[in-house]
Structure 1
């Protein structure tokens, strides 16, 4: 099996940009935890069936897909319901991630997980790569990108792991506080390192 690099970072750190550069330039397979989280509650999924059985039909939109905003309202107002949902979905998400990672064909794979630290998913990876930016850069980027207030961004940052907590679990760090063209040399160096590590891993 390929070695797994857990890729994470705070809001507006550039995780998606970094993952896409690994894929575009080096054809590295990506498993995105956010996409998997959507797949396990997709139309016809076991996850969605159990959510409907628990919350009732009113948790669905007209097209029978999950009403995410309604679900968010429910779990924010009822901590017990949030726990129930986490207990249901987290094992499903982990199983699907492991299944997707087992099909990887590149020398190593990126497990992109925005909440890698918060959900203690670093154990699913052989190494952790953190995309790091100063907090002020995160605030400015998010305000500009999402057209939200500074206060809203600060509230989001407080709900996430801190910069220090992420860096504490990092094996590797990409600095992304400047222009994107400065990312590729860092990514190229890491790619070469990861290919070398995967070669050692396979020979053992």
Structure 2
């Protein structure tokens, strides 16, 4: 049973997926991990990105400087569109391979920041949406990623508004309080999913 887990930047997706994996042994397909895999040195997408942006986009070890790349694409819509045209098909192909290989009698989380934007939610039996006020998400992202407020706001503005996602999601969690409260909300959803998996 594939269950989508989505939400905007710094909404709490990583905390939620880690908790559900550790507490309930849910399997996990994380598109952020897949996104790193498809741009590793030697991969086709990596070669195309380096050819396009030049060696200045690389770290000393030859891997992509993801922070620099993020700043480039979120300050230039055309570059963002180009990068997505290279990486998204590769990520989707790898994601579909992982979905086919997922255990049949267990819950598998498909964790994706673009679950709703890229219509990946259509591949899932149920979908979870994590939301939080923009002010809280901005503070979290700036603290976590050492990004500027402008970069974070640019990312938020380019993502689908929560209001649209609310119309699609089956389960909605507001993550604006304590970690304990967040975990309690996840527990309730996990129990429901486990019951659905049995039926």
Please name the residue that 1:13 is paired with: 11
> Residue 5 of structure 1: SS of its match in structure 2?
strand
* Count of residues in Structure 1 that have an aligned counterpart in Structure 2: 198
Which structure has the greater CA radius of gyration? 1
Residue pair 2:133, 2:176 contacting (<8 A) in 1 also: yes
C-alpha spacing 1:50/1:166, structure 2 compared with 1 (3 Å): same
TM-score when scaled to structure 2? 0.82
Of 181-190 and 47-56, deviating more is 47-56
Q: 1:135 to 1:192 in 2, by over 3 A?
A: same
Evaluate the alpha carbon distance shift between residue 59 and residue 16 of structure 1 in structure 2; reply closer, same or farther with a 3 A threshold: closer
Q: Which runs of 5+ in 2 are unaligned?
A: none
- Regions of 4+ moved over 6 Å: none
Over 3 Å counting, the alpha-carbon distance change for 1:88 and 1:182 in structure 2 is same
Match of 1:102 in 2: 100
Aligned equivalent of 1:32: 30
- Single out whichever of 123-132 and 47-56 deviates more from structure 2: 47-56
Task: Provide the residue aligned with 2:123 in structure 1.
Answer: 124
Cα RMSD after superposing both structures: 2.8
CA distance in 2, matches of 1:61, 1:148: 18
Q: Show the counterpart of 1:44.
A: 42
> Is residue 2:179 matched to residue 1:172?
no
CA shift in 2, pair 1:125/1:41, >3 Å: same
Output the CA distance in 1 between the equivalents of 2:191 and 2:30: 22
- State the partner residue of 2:198: 199
In structure 2, C-alpha distance between the alignment counterparts of 1:152 and 1:91, rounded to whole Å:
25
2:27–2:107 CA contact under 8 A, matched in 1: yes
| Residue 181 (structure 1) shift | 0.9
Q: Deviations over 1:59-85 (max 9, x none)?
A: 544433224455456656765554343
Counterpart position of 2:2: 4
Q: For 1:138-153, what aligned pairs fall within 5 Å after superposition? A: 138-145=137-144, 153=152
Q: CA deviation at 1:140?
A: 4.1
Distance, in Å, in 2 between the alignment partners of 1:138 and 1:154 is 10
Range moving further from structure 2, 67-76 or 183-192: 67-76
**TM-score under structure 1 normalisation?**
0.80
1:39-73 CA distances to partner (integer Å, 9 max, x unpaired)? 10112222213334555555544433224455456
